[in-house]
A and B are shown apart, each in its own frame.
Chain A
Amino acid sequence: MSTLLPRRRDLWSMTLLVTLALLAVAIETAPVGLHPRALPSPDIVAVLIAVLAVRRPRALAVPLVFALGLFRDLLGDGPVGAGTLSLVLLAEGLRQAASTLARGSLLREGLVVAGALAAMFLLQYLITLIIFSQPPYVMAVVRQWVLTVATWPLVLIMLRWGLGLRAEATDPDRGLGALKGLGNG
C-alpha cells in the first residue's frame, strides 16, 4: 500500500507540476495570437507532463493530471473533456514507457515524445470528428504539434538542468512497477 502513497519527493514534484502547469496555461491563453493565421500556442502542459513522465512518473497521479487537463479545457474554448482525456492518456502512455526511456538516449526519448504528442493531437481531432463538431484545419493542428515538439527541449533543459530533475532509471515504482509490487505483497 505504501507504494501508492506519495513520498515527500513526489509531493514536491506534484507541487512543481501544478505550479508549472498553471503557468503554462496562463502562457497558452495569453492573447498574443488572435489573428486567424497566427501561430497557435504550443501545448506546454502536455510537454511538461511528457518531461515529468520520464523523470518523476509517480508525480503524475491520475486525478492530478485530470484536474489540470480539466482546468485548462474549462478556461480555454476547446471541446471540454477531449483535451483532458488526451492529456491523461498521454501521461499514462509515457509512464508505461518511462523506465525504457530513462535508460535510452535523449534523442530516442524525444522521438517517442513527438510520437505520443502526435497521437494526443490526433485523438483530439478524431473526437471532434466523431461528435460531429467542426474540427480545425489539419495544418493548424500540425503547426501546433510542431511548435509543441519544439518546446519539449526547452522544458527539458529547464527541468533537467535548471531544477535538477533527472531520470530515475532504476526506480522499481515507475509505471506498472507499482502495481506489480502491490501484487507481490
Chain B
Amino acid sequence: MRAVLLGIVVVICLVLIGLWRSDNPRLTQVRLALADTVSPSFGFIAEPIAYANEILRDYRALIDVYDQNRALREEIDRLQVWRSTARALEEENARLRALMNVRPAPRLGFVTGDVIADSGGPFSESALVNVGQRDGVVDGSAAVDGSGLVGRVVGVGERAARVMFVTDFSSRVPVIIEPSGQRAILSGDATRAPVLEFLGAPDRVNPGDTVRTSGDGGVFPPHLPVGTVVRTDRTWRALLSADFQRLEFVRLLRYNPNTAIDRPGGIVGPDRRPFAEQPATGAGPAPPLAETERETRG
C-alpha cells in the first residue's frame, strides 16, 4: 500500500516538475495565491530573524567603523567637488531646456513594499514583497532600491508579488553604457556583477563607465541606474549599484510597457490592462510623481 502511494506521489511530482518547466500559468497563480495567504503570518517569524541579522550586521559594521570613517571622509571630499560641478551642469541644463522649450517626460510613479521572503534556496535569486495587484503592481514592473535596479516582477498576487533579481540566472536586462552609448544585455549569473553580453564595441567601453537601462523592449523604463562597468578576466561585467546586503524595501515602478510582456503569469490572473485604464492610476496620461506614489510599509 505504502509502495503504491509512494509511486503515485513520485508520478505527481514528475508532473509538477513538467508543469513548472513549461511555466504553467495556473501553477504561477497557485504560488502567488499561497504567498498571499501565508506570507503575512510568516512575517511574525521573519521579523525577529531579520532583527537579529540586523544586529549582527551592525556589529560587523561597528568593527569596521574606523576604516569606514576614513573611506567616507575621502568620499565626501570627492563628492563636494562633484556637487559644485553637478549644480553648474543642472543650471546649464535648465537654461538649455528653457531655450529649446522641451517638455520633460512624466515622472514615474511607484509603490514601495517590504521584502517579506526570499527564494529559500540557491536555485533562484528572488524575493516576495508585500505589495500586489491591489497596489497597482503588474507583471514586469521594474524593482529598484535607493541606489539602482534590483529586478523585475515575475508574478503578482492580490497582496504579494515575486521579484526576480537581476542576479538570477534567468534575468536578462537591456542596458546602455555611458558615455560610449554602447548597448548590451545584462545577464544574471548569481554574482554581484552580472555579465554584459552582446557588447557591440568592447574597445569603446572602460571600467568605471555607468550602466543604465536602455528601455529597449519596453519592460524597463530607460535610464534607471544599474551599476558600473568592471572587467574580470576577459569578461565585461556590471557591478550593481543596488545594495542587496541591506535590501529591506523595494520600489516597484508603475511604468506602462510599450510591448506586451511575454510572461505566462500574466495570461490567467493579473490585470494586464494598461495603467491608464486601471482604477489605481486613473485615466489619461501619468500624473506627476507626488500624485501617484503610494508607500506601503508593514
Q: Is there an interface contact between A41 and B17, defined as CB atoms closer than 8 Å?
A: no
Can you name 16 A-B pairs with beta carbons within 8 Å?
A: A26-B46, A27-B45, A29-B128, A34-B115, A34-B118, A36-B165, A37-B192, A62-B2, A77-B126, A77-B162, A80-B31, A82-B20, A85-B17, A132-B21, A134-B169, A179-B1
Distance A127 CA – B42 CA, assembled complex (angstroms): 29
Is A28 close to B, CB under 8 A?
yes
Residue from the list A36, A72, A135 in contact with B244, Cβ < 8 A: A36
- Inter-chain contacts of B34 with A (CB < 8 A): 71, 74-75
B296: CB under 8 A from chain A?
Answer: no
Q: Give, as a whole number of angstroms, the nearest-CB distance from A127 to chain B.
A: 6
Contact B46 A82 (CB under 8 A): no
> Is the pair B123, A28 in contact by a Cβ cutoff of 8 Å?
no
- Kindly provide the distance from the CB of A93 to the nearest chain B CB, expressed in whole angstroms: 11
Instruction: Return B119 CB to nearest CB of chain A, in Å.
Output: 4
A178 CB within 8 Å of chain B: yes
Contact of A140 among B16, B35, B190 (CB under 8 A): B190
Does B260 make an interface contact (CB < 8 A)?
Answer: no
Task: Please give, as numbers and ranges, the residues of chain A lying within 8 Å of B118 by CB-CB distance.
Answer: 29-34, 41
B120 and A36 contacting across the interface, CB-CB below 8 Å: no
A78, B12: Cβ atoms closer than 8 Å: no
Chain B residues whose CB sits within 8 angstroms of the CB of A43 once the complex forms = 121
Contact of B123 among A23, A36, A136 (CB under 8 A): A136
Q: Quick check: A32 and B53 within 8 Å, CB to CB?
A: yes
Using A62-B6, A178-B2 as known contacts, say yes or no to A41 and B244 having CB atoms under 8 A apart.
Answer: no
Q: Is there a chain B Cβ closer than 8 Å to A88's Cβ?
A: yes
What residue of chain A has the Cβ atom nearest to residue B42's Cβ? A26
Q: Which residues of A contact B30 (CB under 8 A)?
A: 74
B68 close to chain A: CB less than 8 A? no
Tell whether A81 is near chain B: CB-to-CB under 8 Å.
yes
Residue ID in chain B nearest A142 by CB atoms: B122
B10 touches A88 (CB 8 A): yes
Q: Number of contacts between A and B (CB, 8 Å)?
A: 168
Residues of chain A with a CB closer than 8 A to B267's CB: none
Do A34 and B120 touch across chains, with their CB atoms under 8 A apart? no
- Residue contact B120 to A77, C-beta cutoff 8 Å: yes
Q: Is A79 an interface residue (CB 8 A)?
A: yes
CA of A137 to CA of B189, assembled, Å: 9
Judge whether B124 and A77 touch: CB under 8 Å: yes
Decide: A133 and B121 in contact? CB cutoff 8 A.
Answer: no
Given known A34-B127, A36-B190, contact A80–B1 (CB-CB < 8 A): no
Q: A80-B17, A80-B31, A88-B10 are in contact. List 11 more A-B contacts (CB 8 A).
A: A26-B42, A27-B45, A29-B120, A71-B34, A78-B119, A78-B124, A79-B21, A80-B16, A82-B17, A134-B170, A137-B190
Task: State A62–B124 Cα separation when bound (angstroms).
Answer: 27
A88 touches B31 (CB 8 A): no
A30 and B44 alpha carbons, distance in the complex (Å): 10
For the complex, what is the distance from the CA of A63 to the CA of B119, rounded to whole Å? 24
Q: Which B residues between 7 and 37 are near A, CB-CB below 8 angstroms?
A: 9-10, 12-21, 27, 30-31, 34-35
Contacts known (A62-B6, A131-B17, A131-B21); A76 close to B125, Cβ less than 8 A: no
A152 at the interface (CB under 8 A from B): no
Closest 10 CB pairs of A and B: A81-B16, A85-B13, A76-B120, A140-B122, A81-B17, A77-B119, A134-B169, A78-B123, A26-B45, A136-B122
Minimum distance in angstroms from A156 CB to a CB of chain B: 21
B5 at the A interface (CB under 8 A): yes
User: Which residues of chain A have C-beta atoms less than 8 A from B10's C-beta?
Assistant: 85, 88-89
Report B218-241 CB contacts with A as 1/0, cut-off 8 Å. Answer: 000000000000000000000000
CB distance from A67 to the nearest CB of B (A): 10
Q: How far is the CA of A55 from the CA of B190 in the complex (A)?
A: 38
Cβ–Cβ < 8 Å partners of B117 in chain A = 29-31, 75
Bound CA–CA A11/B270 (angstroms): 40
Contact B13 A36 (CB under 8 A): no
User: Considering the complex, which residues of chain B in the window 130-157 have a beta carbon less than 8 Å from any beta carbon of chain A?
Assistant: none
Q: Which residues from chain B contact A26 at a C-beta distance below 8 Å?
A: 42, 45-46
Q: Which residues on B sit within 8 Å (CB–CB) of A63?
A: 5, 9
Q: Is the CB of A36 within 8 A of B191?
A: yes
Chain A residue nearest to B57 (CB atoms) is A32
